[in-house]
Structure 1
């Protein structure tokens, strides 16, 4: 572990720890694979928060003192966060920022879990997306109180300077424990030179993808540079694909689990006016509707939905056409970086990645054995008797997941002051400037208003378009482990790898996975701070006694 003075929060550069969304690239190339039936409505922007009735009076600037420790896997982005931290300390000379550069992936999750369980930690600002089990234990500060305060680095109420998607609630009682700075999308990238040589075009559906893979393999190429180790299944590229296609198979059931009149958290102004439109890829965004997660858990427990179903089995049979036949040799032990190298070296024809890959592609090509032209396409939809829709939405949306560990009021206020600077136009401009100097790239468009992104990035991100967010689908609760409950995640990875290795039939696999999900529900209820009997009546508050 390296502990460095000067720090600032690293969000986007932590792509290896969490982000998971794949872009495709090259601003010259439009998305090639669109749904056979195009969604009828374009994605809508989240509504801007209504301005406050009275403009808040700017408070006198307080002299801040203390230390803020930011414990994040910074990686190559460390100099970027140093630049932001230096700028903050110039404004607040009584504050010292300590950058604690942690190891990414599972080691970070394990380390943070131990820090939170131990009761005391030097860390103040961390990534919270993989430690949701602590949300109900008061371990993190709720941003809600601070978002309505005046941000001195913006000159306005903080939330008025942010896209609503940056502060979506994620706590058991609608708390906001994470702040997101970028918005990302996942796509499939391909080597145009290889595709031209073999004489193939980007696929329009899954069956065409498999046909193309066969031709690429016959020509001597690895069709898809996909990683299959535990981390890749759980939180990286392979796991992304399971989330994307799970949405395609289950989206039509969303109306069954919406929050409805009589539910403890029903809001007639939102939930009472929502209408389901399966052709609208943004119809189920959190700003428009909420779903009853307790009801979904009950349906899984009672066997009404879940892996032991024709939908689930058909989806995995489709995946088995791709894995392991058309992925690299040694797939189950391969990590994301190793798979990515195969694509850059020209040995593999396709890869799955996020928008940041396209934005940084020119820099990537400087070290490539042979330069090639990059293309991209959206996830080709699967075909079958049990698909819910004939399009596959992207894995995307808000990215960052930066949280503040709950300590004293004074320390919380200090950490949040830094976050106000970081998530301001000035803080993000410093971040972009340093990234540009280092030939790095952000994960996607900014969720902070009034931030000017360099044209070389905005032209790429803007040209890619938008294909929705598969994680809006509440049935993603059982796309991997049950709501990412960690024991069930580990069991899913093990069983899925055994299925693709031919050790389990699809029937054996799906039935075992149903039991994994059902066994995980009591543990999930406990980690969320819900009553053990919460499933008896999903309309009631699962926390209240």
Structure 2
């Protein structure tokens, strides 16, 4: 195996040099056709979702809990077969470059890039993925979504954990050692080490604003993280100056699918339910209790990382039991307070959002054409902004833009600033506003026979090696690639961003992450535990509240009823039973951890 590793490393170096020479000569894959172009920032966060700087790491699972995969003599020979990449993206250039580099090293492997275009509804890709599993052995090799819990529970997805203990032939080192530990810890079961989604990048969400529009409205003080009262005042001043304060879309599909409004709602619920971690954390004697971690932890809402997975363990059964028994409720004054505060900005009657926004699917062009002053983004905005301006001006912007052709053609770059999610205020608020500060990327492989899965994993090993990731980044950051862009630094060690982007991402203001395993607020922020029956109804309730046809009190009452009416179905979705709730100290036999999602 050592000889094979050296041979692959040599071939990798040759392939990378060849690719760089080609790039310098202007060769390589061309950008997608204009009619396929979409805003580079259109991909949703992993709930999609920067390299938040962790202080410690989760205790590594015991060696016996992760079964090592032994090397066989056949694996040292040349690889052969077919790999099908079917992720949701229009960025043919990047994935084809990865495929070509891999095939240069493994000429008997055929890598097919069959991307699925975004923009046909937030769940269209998921529906397509599930149709692939209608056959006993799916043809696709590599899929990517954070919403695959059901497939993991059914035993249809590969567990990455054993492979992470193997040597990566493209580095000569244990594969796990190539990753930032905090990234893996966010998505794997801290007790068993099981992991079904593979992260490889990082992401953060925040607000950007048009500096000249703020100045015209008389707004001169923009702190790194404003209060909600300040945010409301900005909206009032911008409206008075004749601007649309916020570019925001609000169809039920946009709300349900995990876009901008859900980021805000999830951050809000996190601020109002922070202390419930005392009810749901693992107690001594529980299956998930970790000595040296859970016996030293104490609740501290002033520490935005107090509930990180390397600090405290969460017992999902205790969380569900608290919801079932009414220890955690939503038909109360705190839910009313939360909705009323959010409504101060986003209720249509105030005029801070575009007219007709609840029927709008893409408000981004309003920000790009300087008609709207603020926009919620991921870090991908930095790399996509000039490309999106160019796409809009050239008529190559995909999707349903809410501006006329003349305004689109006149789009030009402008100076922008950033600020973190504003802090809500009120008697029930328990902590400052947090955002998505987590991993990006959620690669999964359908479970097949050993030989085929080994081949598919080998491709991901190449992708997540420094050599493969450098190819990925060079193409994602190519100014000519209108479908490119990244949301944050990579999770792969030994990979350097160009100085321009390193400096930009270094400006990030870290406010803490609300999206983590078992976070009490996020699990119940948009429906319950991502159970689709509750997510869809929740999105309708939210839209009706903003349109003024549902009061904050009605929302609170109906949200509690939504939980109660769907609790049995949610338990089944989570592969759990009433017996599990009666014995929260025992590990539920059907439970599969699926990261923070």
TM-score (norm 2): 0.80
Alignment correspondent of 1:144: 161
* Deviations, residues 23-57 of structure 1 (Å, cap 9, x unaligned): 9xxxxxxxxxxxxxxxxxx953453998999xx99
Give the Cα–Cα distance (whole angstroms) in 1 for the partners of residues 411 and 371 of structure 2.
11
* Deviations, residues 50-101 of structure 1 (Å, cap 9, x unaligned): 8999xx99997431111111111121x2211110111011111111111222
Alignment correspondent of 1:34: none
2:457 to 405, 408, 416: 416
Counterpart of 1:74 in 2: which secondary structure? coil
Give the Cα–Cα distance (whole angstroms) in 1 for the partners of residues 421 and 378 of structure 2.
12
Contact persistence 1:49–1:160 (CA under 8 A)? no
2:443 to 385, 402, 410: 402
* Deviations, residues 321-356 of structure 1 (Å, cap 9, x unaligned): 112231111211212xx2111000000000000011
- Residues 299, 49 of structure 1: alpha-carbon distance in 2 compared, 3 angstrom cutoff: closer
Alpha-carbon shift at residue 170 of structure 1 (Å): 4.9
Alignment correspondent of 2:43: 16
Give the Cα–Cα distance (whole angstroms) in 2 for the partners of residues 153 and 228 of structure 1.
45
* Deviations, residues 100-133 of structure 1 (Å, cap 9, x unaligned): 2213321101111232345442112111312322
Contact persistence 1:135–1:528 (CA under 8 A)? no
- Residues 97, 532 of structure 1: alpha-carbon distance in 2 compared, 3 angstrom cutoff: farther
- State yes or no: 1:202 paired with 2:222: yes
- Residues 158, 69 of structure 1: alpha-carbon distance in 2 compared, 3 angstrom cutoff: same
Alignment correspondent of 2:195: 176
Alpha-carbon shift at residue 165 of structure 1 (Å): 3.1
Counterpart of 1:188 in 2: which secondary structure? strand
- Residues 373, 396 of structure 1: alpha-carbon distance in 2 compared, 3 angstrom cutoff: same
Give the Cα–Cα distance (whole angstroms) in 2 for the partners of residues 130 and 50 of structure 1.
25
Counterpart of 1:470 in 2: which secondary structure? coil
* Deviations, residues 243-295 of structure 1 (Å, cap 9, x unaligned): 11111111123223211111112221322222332222122112222211221
Contact persistence 2:272–2:521 (CA under 8 A)? no
- State yes or no: 1:447 paired with 2:462: no
Contact persistence 2:317–2:580 (CA under 8 A)? yes
Contact persistence 2:279–2:322 (CA under 8 A)? no
Alpha-carbon shift at residue 166 of structure 1 (Å): 3.1
Contact persistence 2:48–2:146 (CA under 8 A)? no
Give the Cα–Cα distance (whole angstroms) in 1 for the partners of residues 415 and 289 of structure 2.
51
2:366 to 332, 342, 361: 342
1:95 to 109, 114, 118: 109
Alignment correspondent of 2:276: 253
Alpha-carbon shift at residue 149 of structure 1 (Å): 0.4
Alignment correspondent of 1:33: none
- State yes or no: 1:185 paired with 2:200: no
Alpha-carbon shift at residue 544 of structure 1 (Å): 6.3
Alignment correspondent of 1:516: 562
Give the Cα–Cα distance (whole angstroms) in 2 for the partners of residues 154 and 191 of structure 1.
44
- State yes or no: 1:47 paired with 2:57: yes
Alignment correspondent of 2:550: 504
- Residues 327, 486 of structure 1: alpha-carbon distance in 2 compared, 3 angstrom cutoff: same
TM-score (norm 1): 0.88
Alignment correspondent of 1:330: 356
Alpha-carbon shift at residue 371 of structure 1 (Å): 2.9
Alignment correspondent of 2:4: none
Alpha-carbon shift at residue 167 of structure 1 (Å): 2.5
Alpha-carbon shift at residue 19 of structure 1 (Å): 3.5
- Residues 174, 113 of structure 1: alpha-carbon distance in 2 compared, 3 angstrom cutoff: farther
Query: Where does 1:134-533 land on structure 2 (aligned, <5 Å)?
Result: 134-168=151-185, 169-170=187-188, 175-200=194-219, 201-202=221-222, 204-234=226-256, 235-323=258-346, 324=348, 325=350, 326-335=352-361, 338-366=362-390, 367=393, 369-389=411-431, 391-437=432-478, 438=480, 440-472=484-516, 473-533=519-579
Alpha-carbon shift at residue 156 of structure 1 (Å): 0.3
1:70 to 85, 96, 108: 85
Alignment correspondent of 1:29: none
Alignment correspondent of 2:14: none
Counterpart of 2:112 in 1: which secondary structure? strand
Deviates more, 1:231-240 or 1:483-492: 231-240
Contact persistence 1:21–1:355 (CA under 8 A)? no
Contact persistence 2:209–2:417 (CA under 8 A)? yes
Alpha-carbon shift at residue 364 of structure 1 (Å): 3.7
Unmatched tracts of structure 2, length 5 or more: 1-28, 30-38, 64-68, 394-409, 592-597
Give the Cα–Cα distance (whole angstroms) in 2 for the partners of residues 256 and 92 of structure 1.
52
Contact persistence 2:79–2:455 (CA under 8 A)? yes
- Residues 228, 221 of structure 1: alpha-carbon distance in 2 compared, 3 angstrom cutoff: same
Give the Cα–Cα distance (whole angstroms) in 2 for the partners of residues 21 and 194 of structure 1.
30
Give the Cα–Cα distance (whole angstroms) in 2 for the partners of residues 145 and 242 of structure 1.
37
Counterpart of 2:133 in 1: which secondary structure? helix
Unmatched tracts of structure 1, length 5 or more: 5-11, 24-41
* Deviations, residues 176-215 of structure 1 (Å, cap 9, x unaligned): 0001111111111000010011111336211111111111
Give the Cα–Cα distance (whole angstroms) in 2 for the partners of residues 451 and 318 of structure 1.
43
- Residues 334, 239 of structure 1: alpha-carbon distance in 2 compared, 3 angstrom cutoff: same
Contact persistence 1:148–1:158 (CA under 8 A)? yes
Contact persistence 1:65–1:94 (CA under 8 A)? yes
- Residues 271, 48 of structure 1: alpha-carbon distance in 2 compared, 3 angstrom cutoff: closer
